[in-house]
């Protein structure tokens, strides 16, 4: 059952006025953590509240964050906070919620400190919030797995035999996880047309996005020791939006027999604000009904999934201003929760570490407007998506900007993730081989 306290009170309001609007992603009920800098200063820890960033290093220096070691707030990433464990996470969140509550004058009426510690988000530079130790991408949406499988094997053989029994995943590249707003070049690689006898080399022609949820491991596990799904749930510090950009034509040629490699290694974008597991407690729901009973190590005694509305929008290169929403879906469609993904990852004895990032895989719903990737929406590139400006897309073109957003709908407020975006740049010039 959800573990709620006063930080989840839907009637709680902040003295930061912008945090109290119904559409705001960062009300006092959220308080996501990130890393930011101002005017070339060193990156440091902050919390989003309304349209502001609260500088935690300044609060700690003023003695207003005595619940945690002041050293947690001065580094270039949040990994020290993640490693501190759930008791510290909850204590800091509770202290911040009380400090920002409308009736608390401690920071509200300290004009000098308030002005230096509460800075406009629009003026801040947001950085990658964690040092990503490892990145694993799963394949946890039944609708997505079915749709993609049907493209290659037909509807009757869409799901591989193991899919309904095991969270399928692969190890990705931590080195190319980037923060929202980082643009990237169209990847180069080997391509092979179905009718060709041999591959060619060149820029990807079937560039896609994947709408995902990323889970960030806080406390790790010991080498050789499995964890239960309950322990796994408690190990997760929080969640981000994640776009695992995909080169579908490179992937088609390379993925047998070992799965994706270069087709997923060039860029993975995450949102800058980590929405904590505690903030999502009111929105816990069970995973979909099981087709087959899961083995005991994957069974859950509590609901460990979340009700998060998710959207993807595309702003075409060279077109009129504005973006078209091309997908509206929900994390409730995940067949395997992040806790199950983490428990499966560790069951062999694999050591899980602070800063590990687990991608859910593309999240798709049952209708065409709830699909989380272009390869599904366009049925492999055969049915273009029509944008509001009149342009069409089967796959992404140079200059296209793709943005993800998401939120939980509370009573009079939203617990949101902000935006996770990137723009496609042309492929780099090819060297003389």
Other C-beta atoms closer than 10 Å to the C-beta of 388 total: 15
Residue 336's nearest CA partner among 359, 370, 368 is 359
Token duo for residue 149: 């499988």
Q: What is the dihedral of CA 155, 159, 160, 161, to 10 degrees?
A: -100
**38 vs 32: CA distance, rounded Å:** 18
Q: Is 8 marked active-site?
A: no
User: Are the C-beta atoms of residues 371 and 327 closer than 8 Å to each other?
Assistant: yes
Residue of 25, 144, 333, 345 with catalytic role? 144
Other C-beta atoms closer than 10 Å to the C-beta of 428 total: 11
CA 88 to chain centre: 23
Going by C-beta distance under 8 Å and a sequence separation of 6 or more, which residues neighbour residue 49? 14, 16, 19, 26, 27, 28, 31, 100, 118
**β-strand partners of 329:** 310
Active site residues: 144
């Amino acid at each position: 059952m959800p573990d709620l306290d006063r930080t989840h009170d839907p009637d709680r309001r902040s003295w930061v006025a912008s945090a109290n609007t119904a559409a705001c992603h960062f009300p006092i009920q959220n308080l996501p953590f990130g890393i930011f800098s101002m005017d070339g200063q060193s990156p440091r820890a902050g919390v989003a509240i309304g349209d502001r960033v609260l500088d935690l290093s300044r609060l700690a220096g003023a003695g207003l964050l005595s619940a945690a070691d002041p050293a947690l707030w001065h580094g270039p990433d949040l990994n020290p906070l993640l490693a501190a464990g759930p008791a510290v996470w909850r204590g800091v969140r509770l202290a911040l919620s009380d400090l920002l509550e409308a009736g608390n004058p401690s920071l509200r009426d300290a004009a000098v400190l308030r002005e230096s510690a509460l800075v406009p988000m629009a003026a801040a530079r947001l950085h990658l919030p964690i040092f990503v130790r490892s990145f694993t991408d799963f394949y946890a949406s039944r609708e997505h797995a079915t749709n993609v499988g049907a493209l290659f094997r037909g509807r009757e053989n869409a799901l591989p035999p193991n899919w309904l029994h095991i969270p399928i995943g692969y190890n990705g590249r931590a080195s190319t996880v980037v923060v929202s707003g980082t643009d990237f070049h169209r990847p180069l690689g080997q391509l092979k047309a179905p009718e060709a006898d041999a591959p060619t080399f060149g820029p990807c022609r079937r560039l896609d996005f994947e709408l995902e949820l990323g889970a960030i491991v806080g406390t790790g596990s010991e080498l050789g020791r499995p964890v239960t799904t309950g322990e796994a749930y408690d190990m997760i510090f929080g969640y981000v939006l994640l776009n695992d950009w995909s080169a579908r034509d490179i992937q088609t040629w390379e993925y047998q027999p070992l799965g994706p490699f270069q087709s997923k290694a060039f860029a993975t974008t995450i949102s800058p604000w980590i929405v904590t597991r505690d903030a999502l407690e009111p929105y816990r729901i069970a995973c979909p009904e099981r087709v087959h009973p899961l083995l005991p190590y994957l069974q859950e005694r509590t609901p460990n999934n979340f009700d998060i509305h998710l959207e993807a929008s595309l702003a075409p290169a060279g077109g009129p201003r504005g973006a078209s929403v091309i997908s509206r879906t929900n994390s409730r469609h995940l067949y395997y929760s992040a806790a199950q993904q983490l428990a499966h990852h560790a069951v062999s004895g694999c050591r899980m570490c602070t800063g590990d990032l687990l991608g859910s895989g593309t999240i798709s719903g049952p209708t065409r407007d709830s699909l989380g990737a272009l390869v599904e929406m366009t049925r492999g590139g055969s049915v273009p998506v029509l944008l509001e400006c009149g342009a069409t897309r089967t796959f992404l073109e140079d200059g296209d900007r793709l943005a993800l957003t998401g939120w939980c709908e509370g009573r009079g407020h939203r617990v949101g993730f902000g935006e996770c975006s990137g723009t496609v740049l042309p492929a780099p010039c090819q060297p003389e081989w």
